[in-house]
Structure 1
Amino acid sequence: MFLLLSIGYAMRVNLSVGIVAMTTHSSSNPDIPVYDWDNTGFVLSSFYIGYITLQVFAGELGKRYGVKWFLVGAMLINSAGCAATPLMASLLGSYGVMIIRIIQGMFQGFFFPSVHNILGKWAPKQERSTLGNFIFTGVAFGTIFAMPVTGKIAKTNAGWPMAFYTFGILGVAWCVLWIFLGSNNPEGHSYISREERFYIQSSLGDTEAKQPPPTPWKAILTSMPVWAIVVANFGQNWGYSCLLTEISNYLYKVAGEEIDQNSMLSAAPYLALFILGLAFGPITDWITEKHYLTRAQARKLMNSIGSLCPAIALVILAFLPASNIVAIETFLIIAVGINAAIWCGFQVNHVDLSPTFSGVLMGIGNGSSNIFSILSPLIVDVIVKDQTDPVQWRWVFFIAAIMYIASDIFYVIFAEGERQWWDKPSDECDFNSISTVPMEERNYGKEKS
């Protein structure tokens, strides 16, 4: 799952750097095509048009049938689309790239709901923040990898098309790895020990039913803790996607950094995101295990750290002089890096509320909130008429900061950390329909513990 998000995000963000190379002369090879596009904001946001369409559907399918083969299909389509981007750009220009990005977005809509389906079946309650955070750091790792690699490849004789071919090949390699090593649940895995299977299932309350219960749509859609997650997702997606898609443009147009140096600077905040992401998970699990905070309080604390600190950094960034690249980079690192705390906040909260329907909840929250991922780059196009003007960029940072703060306030008021009544608890399950560990293994597990 870590590699799934790493490669998926690499395919998603390589265009943020690649589009600079596609529209400026960056390669030493004169045969590499360069395009004169005035709709780069639309091209960058087109991914999210597709991304919002299938996420709820993907969560429901994963709950019913398992995620393994859906992920194989989704990644293969993404890989083919990534490799086809140079061809579509030459045939249909920016609109060809937009078509590819919409298709990629549709099928990447399977990724996060599938991750949450996996967490709901594989992550013991006491390890949920650590395991979830490790998976979600794939977002940062893919970004760290994609930005400098795309920038370096774009400067070579092979030019920017080779970057898209490279990430397409990596996606196919992931599919091969996943086919042999992936499994929908512990009892379906070829190599798991009996002790580990029992440990996971008993921690989750033996919730792995052969026939999953129907989704309680009304209860989910009227649940304020669910809406807390959705609203937190709104603010996160606005701020994060704005930074993700526009950092390269900001550094190039305002700070005057060349594309290879630009791509390295653009990736630096995501290195901080990766490192802090690995740290926040164990810290959160430790806080809850020691009972210093309840699970709900820990979620709210981490969500506030991951939202309010970036908001403050963005406000400061808005007033920094364009010539001070060190200060700009420092506050970009703070704004993006400390945002990793939200992975222990709302981002894993779906599994707390409902291990059974966590993929569906992720589909609802992530799918609906990515409307803001479409809007934020378009708002940048509307506000920033002159991309070299730091005053116009200031308003972009202000709006992102406001979205972070407002969404976190709503989350803190309404979020909860315990399993909800509409997620059928284990003592109400039909145990004849549950794939449990045999009795002798249960006794063995108890003796060992």
Structure 2
Amino acid sequence: MGSLEGASSGKRESTNPQEEEGKEQPQQQVKRFCSIRYVMAIMIHCCYLIMCTQHFSLSIAIIAMVNHTGQSNQSNVSTKGYPDATADTGVPVYDWSPEIQGLLLSSSLFGSLISTVPSGYFAGVLGGKKIAGFSVLICSILSLLIPLAADYGLPYLFVIRILQGLLQGMNSSALSSFWPKWAPPLERTQLSTIGTSGAAMGTFIAILGGGFLCESPGWPSIFYIYGGIGCFYCVIWFSLVYDDPINHPLISDSEKEYITSSLTEQANSRSWSLPFKAMIKTMALWAILVSNVCRYWLSSNLTTSLPTLLDNMFDFNFKKNGFLSALPLITSWVSMTLGGYIADFLLSKKILRLITVRKLFTFLGMFFPSLFTILIPYVDSTTAIAFLILASTMSTLCYSGFVINPLDIAPRYASFLMLLGTTFMLISGLVSPIITGYFINQDATGWKNVFFLSSAINLLGMTFYLIFGQTNIQDWAREHRITHF
């Protein structure tokens, strides 16, 4: 989200922001690495990483927390929602139905859904340092309390997960507020990519490390370790992070001058008005929002529910499950990076028009994941895993398609539109694990129904975008005002 917001600034009325950016490249070369602005990018990267480890910890830990309902080879089975038995590692296990598990996995999204847009507003007014820092600190403390909450009962665990969701939504919105003040226009894509890539790495660490920690010393250690790291990181955050380069005590005068001078043309109006009526009537915007909902329905199932899927369908141990669940995150990072380079190459060489590139990458990022997902129930376990990895990997090509499209149709409001898209995604992520839990609790064809439904919804979003997607700047976005959300 930060990369999209960053790239939107510094451009005037143009139907092709990427081409305008290409024309701006022949400017002064400045020192980049070992600079404070890149330190800021790394700090934001680590912040995303920590929050994502805490968000996805439950996805892998829940496999060890439940008694594997329906599997006769499990001897340590409890009969209530509280522990009355222990796993081989000496930690408690719980009798949670698939529906309960789905609710637990999606409960944090309730909080994120509420806090994302409002916290973006307050981060724009108050600055992102305090909001992001305190959200990490409190969320980390809550992570330390999850094992205790699970012992006390499901209501306590649900409350903690919802509170964590509130804080994670605040954190994501606050982090996006740094780039308008810290990132020069020619470096915003690179800086914000460094920052936001921490989300993928955090998810990778959470799932891969969680697989080993579940076996020894046990699933509570996941929450203690990731929560403890988050508390320690807050000390570093408040020491090194500042809302703008002007007040940073360690920045050099030359770097401060370079950043501030490169941002002098930015509008800094305190007007927070938005053309809501015009936005609602814009089908190009609805094409983006609908695609966000439909794509995230599939991708959230592949990410959040993948550990449970591998456990239920293939009965893998925790270490193998964690490795296979984390593998798509690395391949997805590679796919996202290569997709961006290829898209920019096609545009810079004028091989394809902007609208063609956006729709091509949307098609590739939604059609083939749907195809691979539909085929999973009909192949052997090795092929099924390969299809799962390919589906997750190719889905990230959408970042060069409709995901970046707000920059094309409304560069002045790209930050707000990205937060709006995130909110719609959270709605999808909130519902899909619940539906998944319902299906897999019905009969042996439960996962097959999950795959069919997810693929159908994904294809629906792709079709909607291919019909209504646009890249020309909308009339309401040409007004000379900007909103920092």
Pairwise same-fold verdict (TM > 0.5): yes
**CA displacement 1:347-389 (0-9 Å, x = unmatched):** 33334444554332223221133222121111112222257x3
Which of 13, 16, 23 aligns to 2:59? It is 16
Contact 2:267-2:481 at 8 Å conserved across structures: no
**Inter-partner Cα distance in structure 1 for 2:258 and 2:165:** 36
Structure 2 equivalent of residue 58 of structure 1: 119
Aligned sequence identity (%): 29
1:32-55 deviation digits (Å, cap 9, x = unpaired): 111111221111121112221111
The SS at the match of 1:36 is coil
Is 2:365–2:396's contact at 8 Å kept on the other side of the alignment?
Answer: yes
Match of 1:399 among 435, 440, 453: 453
User: How many residue pairs end up in the alignment?
Assistant: 420
1:290 aligns with 2:346: no
Amino acid of the structure 2 residue aligned with 1:95: P
Q: Do the aligned partners of 2:343 and 2:357 also contact (CA within 8 Å) in 1?
A: yes
**Cα distance between partner residues in 1 of 2:211 and 2:315:** 15
Quote the Cα distance in structure 2 between the aligned partners of 1:353 and 1:90: 50
| Residue 163 of structure 2, aligned match among 59, 83, 103 | 103
After superposition, the Cα gap between the structure-2 partners of 1:167 and 1:333, relative to the gap in structure 1 and judged at 3 Å, is: same
Aligned with residue 413 of structure 1, among 467, 473, 481: 467
Give the whole-Å Cα distance in 1 for the aligned partners of 2:151 and 2:313: 29
C-alpha distance in 2 between matches for 1:350 and 1:181: 32
Deviation at 1:161, TM superposition (A): 0.9
Q: Which residue of 2 aligns with 1:241?
A: 300
| Contiguous gaps of at least 5 residues in structure 1 | 431-449
Deviation, structure 1 residue 190: 5.2
Alignment partners' CA distance in 2, 1:223 and 1:118: 29
RMSD (Å) for aligned C-alpha atoms: 3.0
CA contact (8 A) 1:114 1:359 kept: no
Any idea what the Cα deviations from partners look like across 1:368-415, whole Å, max 9, x if unmatched?
33222121111112222257x3x3211111111112221122223333
**Residues 420 and 168 of structure 1: CA distance in aligned 2, closer, same or farther (over 3 Å):** farther
Q: 2:142 aligned with 1:72, yes or no?
A: no
| Aligned-partner SS, 2:332 | helix
What residue in structure 2 maps to residue 380 of structure 1? 436
Distance 1:204 1:338 in 2: 35
Q: What CA distance in whole angstroms lies between the structure 2 residues aligned with 1:295 and 1:399?
A: 31
> Is the contact made by 1:120 and 1:355 (CA closer than 8 Å) also made in structure 2?
no
Question: What TM-score do you get using the length of structure 2 for normalisation?
Answer: 0.77
Q: Check whether the contact 2:132–2:175 (CA below 8 A) recurs between aligned residues.
A: no
Alignment of 1:246-395 (within 5 A): 246-320=305-379, 324-385=380-441, 389=444, 391-395=445-449
For 1:95, what is the secondary structure of its paired residue? Answer: helix
**Alignment partner of 2:215 out of 155, 159, 170:** 155
Change (3 A) 1:111 1:240: farther
| Partners of 1:116 and 1:358 within 8 A in 2 | no
- Cα distance in structure 2, aligned partners of 1:181 and 1:374: 35
Measure, in 2, the Cα distance between the counterparts of 1:203 and 1:298: 29
Do the aligned partners of 2:355 and 2:471 also contact (CA within 8 Å) in 1?
yes
What secondary structure, in the 3-state scheme, does the structure 2 residue paired with 1:16 have? Answer: helix
Contact kept? 2:377, 2:384, Cα under 8 Å: no
Q: Partner residue of 2:287?
A: 228
Query: Aligned AA for 1:67?
Result: G
Which amino acid is 2:429 matched to?
S
In structure 2, C-alpha distance between the alignment counterparts of 1:159 and 1:87, rounded to whole Å: 14
Q: Name the CA distance, whole Å, in 2 between partners of 1:286 and 1:121.
A: 28
Task: Give the AA of the match of 2:452.
Answer: F
- Kindly state the Cα deviation for residue 209 of structure 1 after the two structures are TM-superposed: 0.9
How much has 1:345 moved relative to structure 2? 2.7
Contact 1:201/1:208 (<8 A) preserved: no
Alpha-carbon shift at residue 153 of structure 1 (Å): 1.0
Once the two structures are overlaid, the 10-residue window that deviates more, 325-334 or 125-134, is: 125-134
Structure 2 residue aligned with 1:178: 237
Q: Which whole-Å CA distance do the structure 2 matches of 1:199 and 1:406 have between them?
A: 46
1-structure distance, mates of 2:299, 2:262 = 33
**Structure 2 residue identity aligned to 1:139:** A
Q: TM-score, normalization: structure 1?
A: 0.83
- Alignment deviations for residues 213-269 of structure 1 (CA, whole Å, 9 cap, x no partner): 433333333333322221111012211111222211111111111122211111111
Q: 1:196 to 1:54 in 2, by over 3 A?
A: same
